[in-house]
Each structure stands twice: as structure tokens, then as C-alpha cells.
A and B are shown apart, each in its own frame.
Chain A
Amino acid sequence: MSEPILTHARNILEQQTHNRRMTWCIVGCIILLFAFIGLGFDYYYLGIFNSRAGIPIVTILALVISIIFAIWSLQSGASAVLLSAQAVPADPKDSDQRQLLNVVQEISLASGLPAPKVYIIPDDDPNAFATGKDPQHSSIAITRGLLTTLERDELQGVIAHEMSHIRYYDIRLMTLVTACVGALVLLADISLRGLRFGFLSGRGVRSKEKNPLGIALLILWLLTALLAPILTQLMAMMISRKREYLADASAAELTRNPLALAKALQKLENASAPTVAIKRGIAHLCVVDPLGKKVNEKEGFWAELFATHPPIQNRIMLLKSMAYQYSR
């Protein structure tokens, strides 16, 4: 695996600002894409902007449906996710789990958030995830493998990473992004089917678009509809990766010990088996990709583009630079 290169050296706080800013840039792009396809649909197929009282019906409908879907999945999502991972509440009588509960208490103090509910997942592969719609209703789940593999300070780093996801409402963000992606894919699909059903010759447009610019725009719109599913999936994954970097930097800020999280990530990378108990749908909430080494070790542009998590060596490098231990 090639050694990652540190292009900009950013400290703990600058990293967080950078990642937050990038998130909103990408979300802006998704919204623009959504608007482009939706409004194009309304314009070309329904001739909306021709009449005085034109409102872009389809765009608004798609938006409303995706918001309803997002709210519903936020409400019921947490318990569904914990159930699917066979999570069991942590038992204070077991000494390892007692330590885990203490660590969660410590990080809650450091972040000023209420302590989340703690669950254990019966899997030997080390991993962890956080879920819940806001800090008052959140949960953290840890695999048994993680408890046995990590030292106390490394456990602190991982818990701080998960609590940072809760702190910055990452669960809510990714749910909304996923809902938007779903609505956009649906919209793009309908737009393309509309071609076959001759929507273009309806109240819409064909007679009007005689000039080359208009036709070029139409073609551009159709191409966008074609590529939209892949593009939005890509952008959702980019957001997920930025939030992972943000959670790492925030964990370093909470514990003031970036090297502990770097050590934990190194241990997690070495224990490379996939986490069977954690299903794919919640991969973006975990500290490392539950699909395991075979996905992360794939070299190259495409593998990294569609991954929910950044490559672990990059994350370790950034953590070390936060501890002033990495220079190029």
C-alpha cells in the first residue's frame, strides 16, 4: 500500500472546520443536482413555467416524500439497527463492560452531552457504531472483539469517535442524504422513462426547443438524469468520508490524545476479518468498514471513491499529524 502524502498540515480545530465546510459544499451540489433534474422534469414534461401560476409540482412532491421518509427512518431507525446487530445492553457486573461504561461516562463529561445507552454486539471482530436521532436519544454499540482487543486509552479514543458522530448529528445528516439520494434516483428514473412514454411531445417542449442551445440543454438534462444515481451515490460517500475525518479530529479534541485513536485504528486494521453481525446498511456509522480488509485493501481510484470510510492509513497519518508526530 502506498504511503499517504500529507498535503496540508491542519491542527485539531482546523481539520474540523475544513471537514464541516466540505460537507456543506457537497450537500449544496446534491441540492443543485436535485433542483436541476426536478425542475427540468417540470419544465420539459409538464410545461410548468409556461403558465402564470406554475409551481414545480414534481420537484416539490419528491422533496416532500424524501423528507417524510427521512423523518420516519430517523424515528424508528435506531431500534431497528440495534436489533439487526443482535445488540445486548452492557452489563455493569462484568469488569470489561464496567470499564466500558466508565469510559462512556468520561467522554460524556468531556463533550458535555448526556451519556448514551451502551450495547454489546456478540462478534469477535472489533468494531463499533453509534446511532440515534439526537444526543438525548442516542446509543453506542461495541463488539465483544473490540473490548478484548483494545487498551483503556484506545477504547477512550474509539468511544470519543462514536460520540463525535452523535455530537455533530452525523446520523441525522446521513439519513437525510440517503433519503435525498433515494428521491433523486427515483426522479431520474421517472425522467428517463418519460422519454419512452413520449412525455416530451406533451404539453411540454418539443415544439419550442428549436434553437441549438435549447436542444443542448435538453440533452444535458437527459445525461444528468442518466448519471444522477451514480453521481449522488458518489457524493453521499464523499460526505460519509468527510464526516469520518471530522469524527477522528473531534475524538482527538475530546481526549487530547490522538495517538491513542491512531493505535486503535492500527489494531483494527490488523484484525481484518469482516464484522458479520453488522449489516451493510449501517456501515457508515461504524468506526471502520465492517466489510473488512478485502474492500479496504483494494488499491486504486474506484475502490476508494465508493468506500464509506477513508483508507485507514490516511486516518492514522492525520491523527499522527495532530499529535505533531508526522511530517513530510
Chain B
Amino acid sequence: MIFFFFGFLALVIILIIAAIGGYNSLIQIRNQVRNAWKQIDVQLKRRHDLIPNLVNAVRGQMEFEKGTLEGVIQARAAAVGATTVADSMAKEDVLSSALSKLFAVVENYPTLKANESVQPLMEELTTTENQITFARQFYNDITTTYNTKLELFPTNLVASSMGFKFFPLFQVKDAAEREAPTVDLSLKK
């Protein structure tokens, strides 16, 4: 009889430890998911702060490309002033496409490209766009790990009883964003 009692006790203790372990790992990953989401904001803010510098550096030499430059300035102002999350995402996407037009224009003017102050700033813009992309990619990766853990047995038992919810993956909302962009390098008069 004693053996059964101790065996049962040992089993209960093991189950409790497993449940605690599962709960703790869910908490850890959920916090990483929230952090990853906020990191995207960090990168977006960095882009906002950087753009005025680029504009100033190339302003003098790009009188003839006023339209493109003004497009970037306006898109940035709109993105900074966005209200809801959905609104913010839409406006950030508009800013991204305005910036890619700017990249195309700079490629078209070799003297501008070789300009010493433009080069490091183009590099900074490239890295900013890359960092935004990688921040989103990491958010998706860690969210996938978290969502998977929520569904795996036996962690799903802990998850459902302790109120852990699924997080959405980062998605492209605007269908037009999925199409290949057209690059028009003709000079605008």
C-alpha cells in the first residue's frame, strides 16, 4: 500500500512540475512576442527621425526631382500623424513606397549617387528598411513558435486554463502591395 501511495505522490509531483514548467515557458515566449511587436515600432521611429536628414542632404541637388522628394516628406508627415494601428500600418506602407521611388531616382543620377554625403545616408536608409523587415520577420518567427506551443500537448492544457491567447502574424493588408512594383525612371518635367 505504501508503494502505491508514494508512487501516486511522485506522479502528482511530476505533473505539477511539468505544468509549472509549461506555464513558465509560455510566459517567457509571450513576453518575447510582445517585445518583438514593439521592436517594429522602434525601427519605424528610427526611420521617421532619419528621413529629414536625408532630405536636407539631397535637397540642394534635387531641385529637378521636387515631386519625388515632396512625396517622401508628405508621406512621412502623414505616417507620424496616424491615429489607429491600422491607419499607422497603411501610412507606413505609403511611406515605404515613396522611399523606394526615391531610391530609384538616386540610382538614376550617378553624380548624386557618388556624392559623399548622400552615400552614407543611402546606406543608413537601406539598413533602416532592412531592420524594419527583419523586425517584422522575427515577430512572425517568435509568434509562430508561441502559437505552436499553445497548440502542442500537454502545454495546451495549461494554456487554455490560464487564458493564453493566439497572437496574429504580421500581414500585408493592401493587396496592391503584393504586386511587383513598376519602376519608372523617366525624367519628370
Q: Per-position contact with A for B26-43: 1 when CB-CB < 8 Å, else 0?
A: 000000100010010001
CB contacts under 8 Å to A, within B88-140, are 119-120, 123-124, 126-127, 130-131, 134-135, 137-138
The reply to whether the CB of B142 lies closer than 8 angstroms to some CB of chain A is yes
Which single residue of chain B is at the shortest CB-CB distance from A96?
B123
Which single residue of chain B is at the shortest CB-CB distance from A107?
B134
Q: Per-position contact with A for B20-64: 1 when CB-CB < 8 Å, else 0?
A: 000000000000100010010001000000000000000000000
Which single residue of chain A is at the shortest CB-CB distance from B129?
A106
Q: State whether A110 touches B138 (Cβ < 8 A).
A: yes
Q: State whether B36 touches A112 (Cβ < 8 A).
A: yes
Q: Which of B32, B36, B127 contacts A106 (CB 8 A)?
A: B127
Taking the nearest CB of chain A, how far is it from the CB of B116, in angstroms? 9
Provide the bound-state CA to CA distance between A110 and B36, in Å. 10
Chain A contributes a number of interface residues (CB within 8 A of B) equal to: 14
What B residues does A99 contact at CB under 8 A? Answer: 123, 127
Provide the bound-state CA to CA distance between A102 and B134, in Å. 12
Provide the bound-state CA to CA distance between A8 and B122, in Å. 42
Q: Given A109-B39, A109-B131, A256-B137, A102 and B142 touching (CB < 8 A)?
A: no
What A residues does B32 contact at CB under 8 A? Answer: 112
What B residues does A109 contact at CB under 8 A? Answer: 39, 43, 131, 134-135, 138
Q: State whether B134 touches A110 (Cβ < 8 A).
A: yes
The reply to whether the CB of A98 lies closer than 8 angstroms to some CB of chain B is yes
Q: Given A95-B120, A112-B36, A105 and B127 touching (CB < 8 A)?
A: yes
What B residues does A313 contact at CB under 8 A? Answer: none
Taking the nearest CB of chain A, how far is it from the CB of B167, in angstroms? 15
Chain B contributes a number of interface residues (CB within 8 A of A) equal to: 18
Q: State whether A102 touches B39 (Cβ < 8 A).
A: no
Q: Which of A106, A112, A152 contacts B131 (CB 8 A)?
A: A106
Provide the bound-state CA to CA distance between A256 and B124, in Å. 21
Q: State whether B138 touches A111 (Cβ < 8 A).
A: yes
Q: Given A106-B130, A112-B32, A98 and B120 touching (CB < 8 A)?
A: yes
Q: State whether A112 touches B142 (Cβ < 8 A).
A: yes
Q: Which of B36, B43, B127, B138 contacts A102 (CB 8 A)?
A: B127
What B residues does A107 contact at CB under 8 A? Answer: 134
Provide the bound-state CA to CA distance between A95 and B114, in Å. 13
Q: Per-position contact with B for A251-283: 1 when CB-CB < 8 Å, else 0?
A: 000001000000000000000000000000000
Taking the nearest CB of chain B, how far is it from the CB of A13, in angstroms? 11
Listed in ascending order, the chain A residues whose CB lies under 8 Å from chain B are 95, 98-99, 102-103, 105-107, 109-112, 152, 256
A-B contact pairs, 13 of them (CB 8 A): A98-B120, A98-B123, A102-B124, A102-B130, A103-B127, A105-B127, A106-B127, A107-B134, A109-B39, A109-B43, A109-B131, A112-B138, A112-B141
Sample of 5 further A-B pairs with CB below 8 A, known A112-B36, A256-B137: A95-B120, A102-B124, A106-B130, A112-B32, A112-B142
